[in-house]
Amino acid sequence: MDGLTFGVVEKPVYVRRDDRGVFEELINTGRWESVIAGRMAEGAVMGHHYHHHTIVFFFLLEGRSRIITVDVDTKARHEYEIRAGQGFVFRPSEARAIIHREDVRFLMLKSHRFDPQAPDLIDYQVS
């Protein structure tokens, strides 16, 4: 994906505020086949897996989460905190656990839609 930067997305690429409201461009690189919106409760954990091919953009609309990543090849482990208005771009082969510190609303974009005939999701316990 040309021009895509992996890791924490500190803020939307562009924000316009005027008397009509707010317009936020969250990311402006990549090609996405799937868009998911969701809510999770405080304490819920998402992840404990990675993908061989799929790039995932996770963006918090509300709440706060801790993200733990593990590179499945090098075993390098990293932790990040994100809050509403921030996101994270996960590389393929980057296992993750997303621990919600508060109730959250999120958007998730995936470079490949789920294909039940060729699933691209590999279980991986992140600790």
Domain ranges of the chain: 7-123
Cβ(53)–Cβ(92) under 8 Å? yes
Tens of pLDDT along the chain (127 residues)?
567 788 898 888 889 999 998 988 888 888 999 999 999 999 999 999 999 999 999 999 999 999 999 999 999 999 999 999 999 999 999 999 999 999 999 999 999 998 989 889 999 999 8
Alpha carbon distance 102, 40 (integer Å)? 9
CATH number assigned to the domain with residue range 7-123, chosen from the 4 options 3.40.1110.10, 3.40.80.10, 2.60.120.10, 1.10.10.10: 2.60.120.10
Q: pTM for this one? A: 0.90
SS (HEC) of 31-72: CCCEEEEEEECCCCEEEEEECCCCCEEEEEEECEEEEEEEEC
Place of tokens 């963006």: 59
> Which token pair is 8?
């924490």
